[in-house]
């Protein structure tokens, strides 16, 4: 398996699994990595992305949940299959008018910022429930 995790049996060290980065870096092979590391996952990060060109170079671009390339239905089915029941951190890194970068003043209203975050949360809950 993974020597450092095996040595502690995951008791003192674990992984925060980030599905967005797993798909960005692993393409369609993210499932293999999840299967291998699943006993040691202590928390997960939820966010989405798509590929796009920025200044002529292909880069991952953060987008609202469900609008990108992460197959959340497949991911949630696997989380349930492996009985991964850990804290979830919803990361909203897509455009929130500057709030996503920690700015104190935004180009959109605070109400709109919260509306966008809520949309992601609703998608997360609906998709989780949809897969049983």
**Does residue 16 have a pLDDT over 70?**
yes
> Structural domain of residue 21, as residue ranges?
3-94
Average per-residue pLDDT in the chain? Answer: 88
Contact 69, 23 (CB under 8 A): yes
| Residue, of 120 and 19, whose pLDDT is higher | 120
The greatest distance separating any two alpha carbons of the chain, rounded to the nearest whole angstrom, comes to 49
pLDDT at residue 6 above 80? no
Tokens of 29: 């092979």
Q: Domain tally for the chain?
A: 1
Evaluate if residue 70 carries a pLDDT over 90.
Answer: yes
69 found inside a domain:
yes
pLDDT at 4 over 70: no
pTM: 0.82
Confidence of residue 56 (pLDDT cuts 50, 70, 90): very high
What is the per-residue burial (b if ≥16 Cβ within 10 Å, else e) of 89-108? eeebebbbbebbeeeeeeee
Whether 16 is in a domain gets the answer yes
Q: Is residue 80 part of a domain?
A: yes
């Amino acid at each position: 398996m993974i020597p450092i995790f095996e040595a502690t049996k995951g008791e003192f060290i674990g992984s925060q699994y980030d599905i967005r980065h797993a798909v960005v870096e692993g393409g369609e092979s993210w499932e293999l990595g999840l299967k291998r590391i699943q006993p040691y996952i202590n928390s997960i990060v939820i966010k989405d992305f798509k590929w796009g060109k920025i200044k002529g170079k292909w880069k991952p671009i953060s987008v609202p949940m469900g609008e990108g390339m992460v197959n959340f239905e497949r991911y949630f089915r696997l989380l349930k299959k492996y009985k991964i029941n850990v804290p979830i951190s919803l990361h909203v890194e897509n455009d929130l008018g500057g709030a996503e970068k920690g700015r104190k003043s935004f180009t959109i209203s605070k109400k709109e910022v919260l509306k966008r975050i809520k949309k992601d949360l609703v998608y997360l809950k609906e998709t989780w429930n949809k897969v049983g």
